[in-house]
Amino acid sequence: MAMRAFQGRLTEPESLWIVGWIQAKLQILGAALMTVRQIQYCLASVFFILGGWCLVSPSSMLALCVTPAFQSKDPIVPILAGAFGAQAVIAGLFAAFSRFTKTTFLAYGLGLLPFFVFDYWFYAVTPMLTAVGLLDAVGNVAMLALCVIGWRKAEAA
């Protein structure tokens, strides 16, 4: 069987399979094993991993996640990407060390929704993101699933 060469873009069935797999694995873990605090640590880890990448190696992130047509050699670009990563790491610290309630998980989950529009727009409509750039969408799906799990487990505010 011939393998299809990877063109840097995921087909809709591939992306839906990835999203479904992540949600299923998180729901299994969340329902059976995780405490609210552990769910928060998992939320924070998305920020630490992706934000840390932007902070520590912004040029690598830009080269792998942004299509060549939208890449820039302007020296301010990696600085801005690094600053974006620093903000994400700070958000991870808040997620890890705050006390989340049902309301917090609900607000956090609702706050994620515009990011799905961003990821869709800059992948499908204006193709700025590569398939690697969709790690942002994968992180957002994971965080949304974690918010649902956390909302189910947490106490009311």
Q: Is residue 10 part of a domain?
A: no
Full domain range(s) for residue 139: 36-153
pLDDT score recorded for residue 6: 44
pLDDT at 5 over 60: no
**Number of domain units in the chain:** 1
pLDDT at 2 over 60: no
| Beta pairing partners, 129 | 66
Q: Is residue 99 part of a domain?
A: yes
Over residues 146-157, the pLDDT tens digits come to 999 999 999 865
Q: Is residue 20 part of a domain?
A: no
Q: Is residue 47 part of a domain?
A: yes
Over residues 46-98, the pLDDT tens digits come to 999 999 999 999 999 999 999 999 999 999 999 999 999 999 999 999 999 99
pLDDT at 115 over 50: yes
SS3 (DSSP) at 130: coil
Provide DSSP, 24-91.
Answer: HHHHHHHHHT--HHHHHHHHHHHIIIIIHHHHH-HHHHHHHHB-GGG----THHHHHHHHHHHHHHHH
- Which residue has 């994971």 as its token pair? 142
